[in-house]
Amino acid sequence: MMRNQFLRATVFLGLASSLTIGLSAHRNGTRYFPFLEKPEEVVVKKHSHLAPEFFYLKVSTANKRGGGNFGVPELWGMYDLNDVLKSLEAVQPGTTAQLRHQLPATLQNNKPIPYRMNESFNVEGLAFGYEQAFSKKLSGFSIGIWLPVMYAAGLGAFNPNVDNNGNIGGVQLVDSNGNPTTDGLKVDQVRRETHDQLGFVGNHWDGSGLGDLDVHARWNYFVDHQLLVRSIDSYIQVGCIVPIGMNLKTNEPLSVPSMSDGHWGANFDVVSEIELKQDWKLGFMLGGLYQFKETRNRRLPVCTEPVVYSALTGKVGVQPGFTFKFSPYFTLENLTDGVHFQIRYTYLHHNMDKWYDRRSQTDQTDIPSYLTPNNPLLTAAQMAQNIRDREVLTKWTSHFFSFQLMYDPKQALQNWGMDPLIYVTYDLPVSGSSIAKTHQLSLGVQLHF
């Protein structure tokens, strides 16, 4: 009998995982701000609650595809001043001759002038969650919302990507002390003037406002003392992401979108929490996010320059890839009176986006983009490779470990109003590919009623 129950439990958990392994409980498709859901936001035990939360995020570097670190702006591609000048000349013919003339002689004839782009930014704000549970005939159903309000600020820096001798193309741009030489100052002056021609406002950005609104409906199914465990608490959730947050700014290449960058989204989530024994809980958060195609005015590369440093702007259609997540967690409750500890692992994966040139006749369609068939600035092979390279840049993966301490005064036999659950959480990025390394700290409370 015990053997049969064990087999049934194994099969049940295996089916649950196989049915949901390709899905995600991820609020948005951005590679900058994870905003990872916490299990107690979902496992609400049929109670309504209000959950204000303070959060702070810090970003200073990003995970490179294939391993290693690089600058956050380099998620859009590596910067070469020569590529940016080519883009500017294609859009504004005749404007780059004087700029190139200011360069050292050996760098004037289409020689690569690579730079490393660095940026650090932080975000602070408040998130508000509300869950309304139904009673009687609709017991087990609830609806809810989640909305952040934030302030973000970033600062960037450009450094010539020189060799060990401080040279680019045989020209010494940096001396042995790491300071720019006379030629180095000339080249960087050309870079700044080029950015002025492109309409950029500087190497900084800031913004404040709302993030995207998450609206969802949820259904709970509870099993007590079956399958060799004390209980199984399962939730199925469907939701909608309403894009009311801050978007990428066309003339501020160092800006980042607050969440889904203007895309509507739909998600489907499954969460199961298993109480293995008293105060030991094992959970699985799984689900998926689909974002809808959206068209708006963006920078559109002409050749091989980074997307956000192109001189060409116009209507661009973007079909984001599917985002999915797998997040198991383990909770030890009542380590001491009312104090719980939780460790959680989160795997996120976002598939490649598709871009479409949607410029009308008023959008300088005579200027080719990298998506233009038979682009005269590229060979057929270069064009195919360029499109592939840019699609790969939009694909990302991340791995997080989250550590959370909670205090439940009710379990400590304290009679506090609204049965608050107080928590502090640290989300630690441990590895990834083509994603910002975001450290996030949050402090919040759930107020039940």
- Where are the domains positioned within the chain? 2-448
User: Which portions of the chain are predicted below pLDDT 70?
Assistant: 1-28, 361-364
Identify whether the C-beta of residue 424 lies closer than 8 Å to the C-beta of residue 50. Answer: no
Does domain 2-448 fall under CATH 2.40.160.40? My reply is yes
Q: What is the pTM of this model?
A: 0.86
- The beta strand positions in 103-177, using DSSP E, are 114-133, 141-160, 167-168, 171-172
Determine how many CB atoms are found less than 10 A away from the CB of residue 213: 17
Radius of gyration of the chain (CA): 26
Which one-letter amino acid corresponds to residue 375? N
- Residue 127 — φ and ψ, nearest 5°? -115, 140
Q: What per-residue confidence (pLDDT) applies to 363?
A: 64
Beta strands in 73-113 (DSSP E): 79-80
Encoded tokens for 348 = 């996120």
CB atoms within 10 A of CB 232: 20
pLDDT, position 28: 63
Cα 273 to the chain's mean position, in Å? 26
How far, CA to CA in Å, does 220 sit from each of 43, 129, 271, 324? 9, 18, 9, 22
**What pLDDT score was predicted for residue 361?**
62
Task: Please give the pLDDT value at position 12.
Answer: 37
Structure tokens at 90: 């294609």
